[in-house]
Amino acid sequence: MSHWIFTEEHKMFRKSVQKYLEKELSPYVEEWEKAGRIPGSFYEQLSKMGYIGISSPEEYGGNHADLVTEAVFLEELGKYGTGGIAASISYHLMSLALLSSFGSEEQKRNDLSKAISGEKIATLALHELAVGSKELKDTELRAVQDGDDYLLNGKKKFVINGGSSDFICVTAITDPSKGLDGTSLFIIDRESSHVTIDRKIKKLGWRASETVDLSFNNVKVSKDAVVGEVNEANSYLEKSTQWFQVIQALLSIGVAEKSLEDTIRYSKERKQFGKTINHFQVLQHKMADMAVELEKSRNLTYRALYLLNEGEDAAVESAMAKAFAGEMVKQVADSAVQIHGGMGYMMETPVQRYWRDARGMSIIGGTTEQLHGMISKFLETGPARKDAEYSKSL
């Protein structure tokens, strides 16, 4: 459905993205799912089309478009790809957002520009074995200063693109006395001999995203590898989390929309008792419920997107959008499987993949329960808004 946030230019852009992904992505989904990763060449293809670095500065190869334009691409990516493909690309884009906002000039010229061109693949390593995913900013990896260098030791878990990336944006404690306020963000060369893969992870869904656990064993980096200021990683991640939550909500919307479309099409083809099943009232109501929940999620997410695009704080709205979308997509995908009946349970039918991918949306990047806790705290503190000018640069 149409929404006032999208201009005619956004609508035209959406059509071009749909046409491209239908031709260049959809035919390879099953192949990349089986391979457990997407080829590096696909990043280069997306870059040539201008789909990577949509909102990044022009001087580094980006298009400097608004966040709404980037959101259009992300929503369609969720619809035409898989959870895994969407996750791999979105983690690359989230790394770009951090570098665009907080990176040094040298980091932007060297790493950001090459990531926008598709020459380099980027990712984030934020979660850890002992800490879990309570918050993106949690970390126990240590970075000890050694002259003009830092030595990093520790582990990161569930690193999407961890085995195929060229560089990793990783959080590490640089001042233990300050706790999490003593956390810094580093750019680490993935090819360093001291960054090793502990294990490759097999997942229920998101299978096209290569996911690994990493060990950092005396990884030496110069002080120039620090993104922004030392001990400011938590601040940077807090400022970026709102956009990251909207990204995940958009991907959920894309998967849900595809689930509904496939279900409507199947209901017009599948016959029972001499007529197609779309004539059965109970299934009509089920599909209507799917559409209503999807539209609710769109409006919550687009509201958060609008605020961020205007440079306003959207802490409550982005948390609501991510929490609701993560639950919504599970419900919609489950209904899609149910309406497909026995065929929905077969691996040859795409809806089973939507269902598997949907299950991770309410877990990764903050569980629904954690987000509800955050929303509750926001409600207790009242309507006061923080300065969110940073969002214009993401």
Q: What is the pLDDT of residue 134?
A: 46
Band of the pLDDT at 136, cuts 50, 70, 90? very low
Task: Write out pLDDT tens, residues 221-260.
Answer: 999 999 999 999 999 999 899 999 999 999 999 999 999 9
Distance from CA of residue 390 to its chain's centroid? 19
Place of tokens 């404690």: 173
More confident residue, 378 or 393: 378
- Under CATH, which number does the domain 8-121 receive? 1.10.540.10
Q: Are the CB atoms for 167 and 111 separated by under 8 Å?
A: yes
Alpha-carbon distance 322 to 366, whole Å?
A: 9
Residue ranges, comma separated, of all CATH 1.20.140.10 domains in the chain are: 234-393
Tens digits of per-residue pLDDT, 145-192?
999 999 999 999 999 999 999 999 999 999 999 988 999 999 999 877
Bridge partners, 200 (sequence order) = 212
Write down the CATH number for the domain with range 234-393: 1.20.140.10
Burial of 79 (0-12, 13-18, 19+ CB in 10 A): buried
Whether 73 shows a pLDDT value over 70: the answer reads yes
Q: For CATH 1.10.540.10, list the domain ranges present in the chain.
A: 8-121
pLDDT at 96 over 90: yes
CA-closest candidate to residue 32, choices 172, 209, 234? 209
CATH fold of 124-231? Butyryl-CoA Dehydrogenase, subunit A; domain 2 (2.40.110)
Segment 365-385 shows an average pLDDT of 86
Which residues, 6+ apart, have CB-to-CB distance to 24 below 8 Å?
A: 45
pTM equals 0.93
**Alpha carbon 119 to its chain's center:** 20
Position 179 scores a pLDDT of 83
Per-residue pLDDT, 389: 44
Distances in Å between the Cα of 124 and the Cα atoms of 44, 58, 130, 242, 340 are: 19, 23, 18, 16, 37
pLDDT level of residue 390 (50, 70, 90 thresholds): very low
**Range list for CATH 2.40.110.10 in the chain:** 124-231
What interhelical angle do 315-340 and 281-309 show, nearest 10?
160
Q: Do the strands 122-125 and 142-146 form a parallel or antiparallel pair, or are they unpaired?
A: unpaired
Positive or negative: CA dihedral 305, 20, 85, 33:
positive
